[in-house]
Amino acid sequence: MAEFSVNLLGLRIFVSCAGFVGNVFFILCIIRNKFSHVKSFELFLLGLTAANLEEICIINIYDVIILQAYSTTGTWSCRLLKFLTLFGEIASILFTVIISIFRYQKLRDANNRVNPIYLDSIRSAWMLSGVCVTLSVLVCLPIFTINHQGSAENVTRNDSSYCPPDFFQCDENHCPKQNRAYKNLFILVCHLLPLIIVTVTSCLIISVLLKQRKAVTPVVNVSRSNQHGRRNKDPRLHRSTVAVVAAMGLFQVDWTLHLIFQWSFSPYDLPFWDEIEFFISISYTSLCPYVYGIGIGLFSLNNLNLCICET
């Protein structure tokens, strides 16, 4: 058991470091290459990676405190860590939803569209990013007001220093009504609804891609100049769209597992709840910068060499 715990700790450190490096490198590449003329899509990706980075840092601090002696954590510092962890999580989810909707709108009727879509405006993108941050703060604020009293089996702990593993302090034996209501509403609005939106938009994006492929396939005997122009125009958008679809698939798997564990188990029933929750929560935030970075061409040897030379 001790060896298994050591292996899990090593894996946690590896995943956290990989996610930290990936998100930092992604942010540096966008700032260095495109910040002066950043587009809406890059701005949304920048917000996503910034939220991922915040979540990775805070969730590691939070988990270390949870796994160590609880006496080192006061009530307000515990609530602050929970708030910051949920804030990064929700911000990451909201930016993912925006990216999926934005990419679908860009693809839909792309060949016939004359005017740019609303989110093409960088001002609109900044406003929507601000809305995401504000909503993330608002939905996490009740963390500071819900009942923080421990369950009956934990009364032996100093209540001012106890930081429970459940963000909502809502186990089977002790769950105040306001805690249960907040937990269920939070999961439905902040987890299930975004998962449904991302799943639907992913299916719509795949449907558009299939229709475009069927429309292009018969046109084989067109003049070489037109075909060459089309090929030069499509590959970058196609790679970027494939990256979005892959990231959406990763998001769906990650948060589906999260919902299954939230609704099927209690953190007080599973001995490795902290590890399971950690890997489910951090897998998307750690892997998505690599998916997007490779898809839009940011993660290249040239960019890596330039970043190393600048540092």
HSE of 302, CA atoms in CB hemisphere, 13 A: 5
Task: Sort residue 295 into left (φ over 0), alpha (ψ -120 to 50) or beta.
Answer: alpha
The mean predicted confidence, pLDDT, of the chain is 77
Other C-beta atoms lying within 10 Å of the C-beta of residue 303: 17
Per-residue pLDDT tens for 244-263? 899 999 999 999 988 888 78
Round to whole Å and give the CA distance between 99 and 25.
Answer: 20
* 3 state SS of 274: helix
Q: Which residues contact 273 (CB under 8 A, 6 or more apart)?
A: 165, 265, 266, 267
The number of distinct structural domains making up the chain is 1
Q: Which residue has the higher pLDDT, 38 or 96?
A: 96
**At residue 167, does pLDDT exceed 50?**
yes
pTM of the model: 0.84
- What is the band of 156 on the pLDDT scale with cuts at 50, 70, 90? very low
Looking at residue 277, what is its pLDDT?
A: 78
Looking at residue 223, what is its pLDDT?
A: 46
Structural domain including 240 reads: 2-310
Percent of the chain with pLDDT over 70: 68
**At residue 230, does pLDDT exceed 50?**
no
Among 26-30, 228-232, 294-298, the minimum mean pLDDT is found in: 228-232
Looking at residue 179, what is its pLDDT?
A: 79
User: How far does CA 104 lie from the centroid of its chain?
Assistant: 18
Looking at residue 54, what is its pLDDT?
A: 93
Q: Hey, what amino acid is at 56? A: I
E strands of the chain, at which residues?
none
Per-residue pLDDT tens for 114-126? 667 777 888 889 9
Q: Look up the CATH number of the domain holding residue 53.
A: 1.20.1070.10
**Contact status, residue 137 vs residue 87, Cβ threshold 8 Å:** yes
Per-residue pLDDT tens for 21-76? 999 989 888 887 665 677 888 899 999 999 999 999 988 887 776 655 444 556 77
Q: Which residues contact 93 (CB under 8 A, 6 or more apart)?
A: 190, 191, 194, 255
Phi, psi of 176 (to 5 degrees): -55, 155
Give Cα separations from 47 to 242, 288, 302 (angstroms). Answer: 20, 13, 24
Q: What is the mean pLDDT of residues 264-268?
A: 70
Give Cα separations from 121 to 90, 97, 124 (angstroms). Answer: 24, 18, 5
